[in-house]
Chain A
Amino acid sequence: MAQVHSSAPPTRHALQAVARPALKSELSRQRRRSAWLFLAPMLVVLALVAAWPLARTIWFSFTDASLDDLSGAHFVGLRNYLEYVDYGDGTGEYFGLLADGEWWGAVWNTVRYTVISVAIETVLGLVFALVLNAPFPGRGLVRAAVLIPWAIPTIVSAKMWAWMMNDQFGILNDMLQSIGVIAHPIAWTASPETAIWAVIIVDVWKTTPFMALLILAGLQMVPGDIYEAAKIDGVHPVKVFWRVTLPLIRPAILVAVIFRALDALRVFDLIYVLTPNNSQTKSMSVFAQENLFQFDKFAYGSAASTFLFLVIAMITLVYIKAARLELGGGR
C-alpha cells in the first residue's frame, strides 16, 4: 500500500540558505561533497522503502496484475481507473475506480472521519496542553499519564473499545444506563448511525495526547515576559489567549494538524478491528486492502492505493500553501 512520509515544511531561514549563491571555493565544494556523502545512506533507504514500493504500486495500477502472478502483469492502460464497456446492444456501462460508487463512499467516509476527528482532537489537545502548561503539583506525573492512550498499540485499544462498546456486555452501555442517559443499550459498532462515531470516539481518545504533546511543545517556546507584560498592563486572560498565546503557537498547531490529518487519511487498523467490513466506516485504505488481498483484484487495489496517495499528496500541498499564506498574513 502506498504510504506517504511527510516532514514539516522547510523554515524560511532554510529556504534562504538554499537560495544564497554558493561560493565557488574548494572548501565549499568539499563541504558539498561530504554533505552528499552524509545524506547518501538516508537517500538510499528512502528510495528502497518509500520510492520503490510507491513506484511499483503505481505501475501495477496500470496492469492486470493478480496477486498469484505478479510477474505476469501486462500493461492495460487506464482500465483500472475508467473504462467503458459496450455490451454491443447499444447499452454499456462505465467500470473502474472513478465510476465505482463504493470507492467514492470510502473517500467520503475517510474525509468525514478525518475532518471531524482532527477538529475535535485539536480543540481538546489545545485544552490539555494549556492545562499541562500551567504549574501545579504532580504535573510531571499527569503529563506522563496523559500519554498512556497514545502509547497503547491501536490494535489493542481498538479491541479493548470493541468490548467496552459491546451492546450486551459492554461497560459503556452499563455506565450510561445506570446514570440514566439512555434507556436501552446502544449497539455502538453495529448501528449505521453510531458506527462512524464509535470510530471517532476511539480515535479521539487515542490521539488527543499526541496533539496535546505537540501543542505543549509550542506553548513552552512562548517567552514568559510577554505574559508578564500583559499582566502589568492588566489585559484580561481570555484576551491574552486570543491575542498572545494563540498567534504564537499557531505554527505548532498547524504542524500538529497536518501530522494528524495525514495519519487519519490513511486510517486502517482502527476501522479494520472496530467495525470490519461495515460500509458506513470503510476507509480508503480498507477499500484498497480488501481489493488487494481479499479479492482477486490486485491491480484494482493498486489503483485505489495510488489514488489514496494522490489524494493525500494533494491535500498536503493545498494545506501547506494555505497555511503559509496565513502565516505570512499573521506576521
Chain B
Amino acid sequence: MRRKDATLALALTSLLAAMPALAVELSVVSGSVGKDITELRDALDRFEKQSGNTVRIVEMPASTTDQFGQYRLWLSAGNPDIDVYRTDVIWAPQLANHFVDLTEAAKDQIPKHFPSIIQSQTVGGKLVALPMYTDAPALYYRKDLLDKYGKQPPKTWEELKATAQEVLDKEHAAGNGQLVGFVFQGAPYEGLTCDGLEWVSSYGGGQIVDPKGNITINNPKAEAALAEARSWIGTVSPTGVLAYKEEEARGVWQTGNAIFMRNWPYAYALSNGSDSAVAGKFGVVPLPAAEGETSAACLGGWNLAVSKYSRHQKEAIDLVTFLADEPQQKQRAVNQARLPTMPELYGDPDIKAAQPIVPQWQSVLEAAVPRPSAPTQGQYNEVSKEFWTAVNETLAGRIEPAAALKQLEGRLRRLKRSAWD
C-alpha cells in the first residue's frame, strides 16, 4: 500500500516537473509622465526574467482625468484584456468593486509600507491596490538666478510673487525676454485640484470638504488664497499656464525659461538630465504658505490594482507584489526620484546619493494633505471637477474669488443633497 502511494507520488511529481510552467501574457495599463514607461519596461523585463511570463504595456495619456474615463469604461464592461491597472491614489473608493482584494497576497509586504498609504487604498476592509510610489510636490527654483540678485527661496506666496517680479523685470531688461516667473498646473483637470487645494490649505482655508463630509470651501481664507493666485496670472505667470499640465510646465522650466515651478519630484530627476538646460542650476524647497500658516503639499501617488476580470489573476498578483516591493521601489527612487512608500528606504544611502530630494522629502510627505476622495466617495470626481472649474475660471478672471467660492459651495451642496454616496 505504501509502496503504491510512493510510486504514484513519484509519477505525479515527474509529470509535473516534465511539464514546463505555462507562461502567460499579462497586460498592464499605465499613464505616462516623464520616463514612467521606460522605467516600467525595465522593471517588467526583470519580472519576465524571474517569472517566465511576458508583460505588455498599454500606454495611456498623461492626464489622470483622461485615464480614469477609459478605465471605468473597461472595468464596467468586464474587460479581461487588462490584468493590472496603475491607479491614482484618489481612485480607490470609486473603483473598489472591480479589483481583487490584495490583503492576503501582500501580507508580508504590507507592514513595510506607510500605514497611511495602505489605509488610503483600503476600502471597506479590502486592499484595492498596492502602492507603487507616492508623491508630494515641491517648489523648484533657479538657484543661479536667485543668487545673481541676492534672493532667498520664498517662504510665503507673496514673497514668491515679489521675488519673481523683481528677477523677471531685471532679466527682461537684460534681454532675456523668454523668461517667465512661476509655472504650475493651471489647466482644468485633476492636477489643478491639487494646486488649488495647496493654495487654499496653505492659507488655512481647509480641504474643500472636511473628513466628516461637510462642505467648508466658502471661507475668507480660501478667498484670499484664490485672490493671491489670481494676481499671478499675466504678471509673473503667463496666461498660457491656464492650459498647462505637469509636462507643459516642465517644458517651460527645463528649457530654462521659468524662475519657479510647482511640480512633483519626477521633474527633479529629469531636470538634472544631460539634455536639461537647468541641470545643476536649481534647488527644491517645500511649497510656500501664507504668512503664519504652514505649507501644504497635495498627497499624490500611484498604485497597482489587479482586475477582477483578469484571466490570470494569480500571475497578475505576483506582478503587482513584485513591482510594489522594496527592490523596485528603490530602483524607481534612484532613477526617477519617485518617492518610495516604505519609510525604511528614506535612509538608503544609494537613493540619497542619486536623488537627494528623496530623503529631504520624508517630512513633507508626512504632512501632506489628502484630497477629499474619502469623504465624498463615488462623487469625488464631480467635486473635483467643480473645484477645478471654479479655480480655473477665477484665474482666468471670468469670476471674482468670492463669487466663485459662493457658487462652488452651492454646486457642491446640490451634489451632496443629504449625504455623499
Contact = CB atoms under 8 A, between A and B. Distances in A.
Contacts of B318: none
A189 B97 contact: no
Contacts of B72: 67, 293-294
Contact of A295 (B63, B187, B189, B382): B382
Nearest to A275: B243
Interface in B391-414: 392-393, 396-398, 414
Contacts of B73: 67, 293
B241 interface: yes
A113 to B, nearest CB: 18
A82 to B, nearest CB: 14
Given A293-B69, A295-B382, A191 B242 contact: yes
B238 A95 contact: no
A52 to B, nearest CB: 17
Contacts of A187: 238-243
A294 B69 contact: yes
Contact of A190 (B66, B240, B381): B240
B243 A277 contact: no
Contacts of B388: 277
Given A166-B248, A294-B68, A276 B187 contact: yes
B252 A168 contact: yes
B5 to A, nearest CB: 50
Contacts of A192: 393, 396-398
Contact of A93 (B188, B240, B243, B414): B414
A298 to B, nearest CB: 9
B243 A189 contact: yes
Given A95-B414, A293-B73, A169 B239 contact: no
Contacts of A95: 414
B313 interface: no
B97 A68 contact: yes
A80 to B, nearest CB: 14
B378 A296 contact: yes
Contact of A168 (B240, B385, B389, B397): B240
A277 B389 contact: yes
Interface string A188-203: 0111100000000000
Given A93-B414, A169-B251, A190 B189 contact: no
Chain B interface size, as a band, is: 35 or more
Interface string A275-291: 11111000000000110
A263 interface: no
Contacts of B379: 295-296
Contact of B65 (A169, A276, A297): A276
Interface in A58-80: 67-68, 70
B94 interface: yes
A169 B243 CA distance: 13
Given A167-B238, A190-B239, A192-B398, A276 B69 contact: no
B65 A294 contact: yes
A68 B421 CA distance: 14
A185 B234 CA distance: 11
Interface centre among A185, A191, A275 (most CB of B within 10 A): A191
Contacts of A68: 76, 97-98
B122 interface: no
Nearest to B243: A190
B257 interface: yes
A85 B415 CA distance: 12
A185 B240 contact: yes
Nearest to B192: A277
Interface in A288-312: 289-290, 293-297
B239 A277 contact: no
Contacts of B393: 192, 279
Contact of A276 (B63, B70, B238): B63
Contacts of A70: 76
Interface string B178-189: 101000001111
Contact of A67 (B76, B189, B381): B76
A295 B98 CA distance: 16
B381 A294 contact: yes
B2 interface: no
A74 to B, nearest CB: 16
Contact of B188 (A85, A185, A276, A297): A276
Interface string B60-87: 0001011011101100100000000000
B107 interface: no
Interface string B331-363: 000000000000000000000000000000000
Which among B98, B186, B248 has the highest number of chain A CB atoms within 10 Å?
Answer: B248
A276 B189 contact: yes
Interface string B76-116: 10000000000000000010011000000000000000000
Nearest to B382: A295
Contacts of A279: 188, 389, 392-393
B263 to A, nearest CB: 16
Given A167-B243, A294-B381, A296-B382, 9 more contacts: A67-B73, A192-B397, A279-B392, A279-B393, A289-B69, A290-B385, A293-B73, A294-B385, A296-B378
16 contacts: A68-B76, A85-B417, A93-B414, A168-B178, A168-B240, A187-B239, A187-B242, A187-B243, A190-B186, A191-B239, A191-B396, A276-B63, A277-B65, A289-B69, A294-B385, A296-B94
| The 9 A-B residue pairs with the shortest CB-CB distance in the complex, in nearest-first order | A167-B240, A187-B240, A190-B243, A190-B242, A277-B188, A187-B239, A293-B69, A67-B76, A296-B378
Interface of A: 67-68, 70, 85, 93, 95, 166-169, 185, 187, 189-192, 275-279, 289-290, 293-297
Interface of B: 63, 65-66, 68-70, 72-73, 76, 94, 97-98, 178, 180, 186-189, 238-244, 248, 251-252, 257, 378-379, 381-382, 385, 388-389, 392-393, 396-398, 414, 417
